[in-house]
Chains A and B, each alone.
Chain A
């Protein structure tokens, strides 16, 4: 048998076929099953009787879901822009051949090694109005110091942005730094000869040439946004009230705590569609060039 296989020499095909089989069954199969469930009235246990798109109607009349989606947009935009700005800035500093570059690189990359749960807990402690920063400042004599964003329903979402920027900036920095190191020396020589100010050089020459690198960063960060669950759980549990609810948390809550398989599946399918819509521009711009 083995000798026969060897003779046929189609091992790569076999490997690939197995791989695709697994992906098809467990990945696309699960998606199809979830879609099917979203068309049923399933609660704790799956039921297979189709009822059409009722769950989607219910989903989009559910105030908490709408708040979750809105939060994802606010969080996503601020987080991606913030992380890109800070990451790019740090990458530029590192690229200017500062002293002890590798030390700083390690320090800034370090948060990425910390899990989101730990990140969330630490930031919750820091931002806690009684025991955290506010309490510290007040006990040090600054009585009027107020920083209660974590417990303020209008501001709590920004604390999530702060924590996740802290977490992901290092990653973006390293990726952009790698891109910067790949810039041709001739280009730098030309910039120097022309006497272009440094900020204009980066903004108008270097970064536009690094579009694929930045696009990869954006895609990585987007997936963080859509998956956003652990950080919310560790920091705010969706509160105060429903001020920091996210779609992923909505889906998990309705799968388990609310034992509503149908509605949770509908939410998951909508999340999948949102991801596809968000990623389409990227795929479009990336693949168009090659064809």
Chain B
């Protein structure tokens, strides 16, 4: 008797679930966009998706690592999310290589996506000739942000070289504020090192060093100079720097407590979220070098293989929503990124975004950021080295360059 009632309830529930599935196209999105500008960007995607009739399940994690960990264990446990927000790094290649990701070759061919993306971006989205990730926006790592009122007050021009930058930082420091705001977390520190290498060496040297890892590039004096610049930046960090998050650090520049910050252009989103206007309240430039360079980091959605019909349809709908030019433009506006489609109208974006879009379109300027370019654990090892060099002032530049070479040649 009991058993019969139980099976009845179960089948009734099953019917209910079945009928639901026929109505809605569901996505379960594993992401880590939780700061104020980031969540606005995610809402843009979610709203576009919902307006097309989809059902959105939000699965946020505190940071990138946690999101990826959650997604991996869900895939391994047979309950994959419909979409994971990530970047085209070695984890994406691993997932795609083990056949865990759905490809969008058909849809891309139908909608002609390859023709509206730059070749570098397109190559990052493909693993083994299959399109396994869709771009949400393009960020670059090698930006510097500054507080315009503060620089105006001290009559400082926007720096054009590293020497200018350090002279300006000295002036700001003398006025009792923080010269260069840094959040003392390893990933933020290594970003400054990579920006210095790119600025001093230029895009060609970068490709030799980081992408090809050629032994000649490792012997170049540029590397030692970059490490020295990196060390010099560390001398401007304030005592409360260790462990501070990037957005709290950006906030120091937003409120005029600090002059400069080296940070990718997701920082622009935080300025905008605080109601600041580019060119008036804050300024931006790419780390100063002889040639324009742009180390791109792409935010992508990857789509784990799902079996449920409702989930598969949801993924397709999400793919179309993400690739919608209007959505791409809106994301760029709130998040600080540059649209990944080249056919998006960028005239409405602010001066910083336009500088980004212009540099991205400059031939030879765009390079892969180290986070995506370095294979396997190399980026992690360089991060460990950078944070060690940053905090341990007794470590010599020569020792750092030697360890750096050893790491890059280890795989």
A274 touches B (CB below 8 Å): no
Who on chain A is nearest to B64 by CB?
A257
Contact of B242 among A151, A255, A260 (CB under 8 A): A151
**Complex: A64 Cα to B385 Cα, angstroms:** 9
Complex: A256 Cα to B94 Cα, angstroms = 13
Docked-complex contact B238 and A258, CB < 8 angstroms:
no
Contact residues of A: prevailing secondary structure: loop
| Closest chain B residue to A42, Cβ basis | B94
Q: Can you name 4 extra interface pairs (CB under 8 A) apart from A45-B72, A151-B241, A236-B243?
A: A150-B242, A243-B391, A255-B69, A257-B69
- On chain B, the residues within 8 Å of A43 by CB distance are 90, 94, 376
Q: Give the distance to chain B from A159, nearest Cβ to Cβ, in Å.
A: 11
Whether A259 and B242, one on each chain, are in contact in the complex, defined by CB atoms closer than 8 angstroms, is: no
Which residues from 218 to 276 on chain B have a C-beta closer than 8 Å to any C-beta of chain A?
238-243
| Distance between A291 CB and nearest chain B CB, rounded to angstroms | 44
- Cα A151 to Cα B391 in complex, Å, equals 10
Question: Which residues of chain B in 86-110 are interfacial with respect to chain A, using CB atoms and an 8 Å cutoff?
Answer: 90-91, 94-95, 98, 100
8 Å CB contact of B185 from A237, A256, A263? A237
Interfacial chain A residues near B91, Cβ < 8 Å? 44, 259
A148 close to B65 (CB less than 8 A) = no
Report Cα–Cα, A263/B391, bound state, in Å. 26
Q: Which residue of B lies closest to A150 (CB)?
A: B242
Q: Is B387 an interface residue (CB 8 A)?
A: yes
B243 shortest CB reach to chain A, Å = 5
Q: For the complex, is B76 an interface residue (Cβ under 8 Å from A)?
A: yes
CA distance A168 to B42 in the complex (A): 43
Residue of B nearest to A64 (CB): B384
Q: Which of A124, A238, A256 contacts B68 (CB 8 A)?
A: A256
B392 in the interface, Cβ–Cβ < 8 Å? yes
Q: Is the CB of A239 closer than 8 A to any CB of chain B? A: yes
Give the docked Cα–Cα distance between A260 and B238 (Å): 34
Inside 8 A of A131's CB, which chain B residues have their CB? 240
The answer to whether the Cβ of B390 comes within 8 Å of any Cβ in the partner chain is yes
- Which of B64, B100, B239 gathers the greatest number of chain A CB atoms within 10 Å? B239
Q: Are B239 and A129 in contact (CB under 8 A)?
A: yes
- Do A236 and B94 touch (CB < 8 A)? no
Q: Which residues of B contact A254 (CB under 8 A)?
A: 377
Complex: chain B residue closest to A124, CB-CB: B243
What is the CB-to-nearest-CB distance from A144 to chain B, in angstroms, rounded to a whole number? 14
Q: Do A44 and B72 have beta carbons less than 8 Å apart?
A: yes
A271 on interface, CB distance cutoff 8 Å: no
Interface residues of A in 225-277 (CB under 8 A from B): 236-243, 253-260, 263
Interface: B202 (CB within 8 A): no
In the complex, which residues of chain B have a beta carbon less than 8 angstroms from the beta carbon of A256? 65-66, 68-69, 72
Closest A residue to B89 by CB, please name it.
A259
> How many whole Å from B79's CB to the nearest CB in chain A?
16
Q: Do A241 and B377 contact each other (CB < 8 Å), given the known contacts A148-B239, A236-B242?
A: no
The answer to the question of B184 belonging to the interface, with a C-beta cut-off of 8 Å to chain A, is yes
| Chain A: minimal CB distance from B124 (Å) | 18
B398 near A: Cβ within 8 Å? Answer: no
* Chain A stretch 125-180: residues in CB contact (< 8 A) with chain B: 128-131, 148, 150-151, 153
Q: How far is the CA of A253 from the CA of B63 in the complex (A)?
A: 13
| A-contact bits for B55-82, CB 8 A (1 contact / 0 none) | 0000000001110110010001000000
In the A-B complex, the 8 residue pairs with the smallest Cβ-Cβ separation, listed nearest first, are: A241-B391, A256-B69, A44-B94, A257-B65, A130-B240, A240-B242, A240-B391, A151-B242
CA distance A241 to B390 in the complex (A): 7
Q: Name A43's closest neighbour in chain B (CB-CB).
A: B94
Q: Would you give 23 A-B contacts (Cβ < 8 Å), ordered by A?
A: A44-B98, A45-B76, A45-B95, A45-B100, A63-B384, A128-B240, A130-B238, A151-B239, A236-B242, A239-B184, A239-B243, A239-B387, A239-B391, A240-B387, A240-B391, A241-B186, A241-B387, A241-B392, A242-B391, A257-B64, A257-B65, A259-B68, A259-B90
User: Which listed residue, B98, B186, B388, touches A45 by the CB 8 Å rule?
Assistant: B98
B380 CB–A CB distance under 8 Å:
yes
CB within 8 A of A151: which of B240, B376, B377, B390? B240
Q: Which of A162-203 contact B (CB under 8 A)?
A: none
A50-94, CB < 8 A from B: 63-64
Binary CB contact string for chain B from 375 to 411 against chain A (1 if under 8 A, 0 otherwise): 0110010001001101110000000000000000000
Distance (whole angstroms) from the CB of B387 to the closest CB of chain A: 5
Shortest distance between the CB of B245 and any CB in chain A (Å)? 10
CA distance in complex: A258, B238 (Å):
29
> Pick the contact of B186 from A153, A239, A259, A263 — CB < 8 Å?
A239
A237 to B387, CA, bound (A): 12
User: Known contacts being A258-B380, A259-B68, is A239 close to B94, with CB within 8 Å?
Assistant: no
Instruction: Enumerate chain A residues within 8 angstroms of B392, measured Cβ to Cβ.
Output: 153, 241
A153 to B184, CA, bound (A): 12
B390 to chain A: which residues have CB within 8 Å? 241
CA distance A257 to B243 in the complex (A): 17
From A131, A153, A243, A258, residue with most partner B Cβ within 10 Å = A258
With A and B bound together, what is the CA distance between A259 and B92 in angstroms?
11
Given A242-B384, A256-B69, A263-B377, A44-B243 contact (CB < 8 Å): no
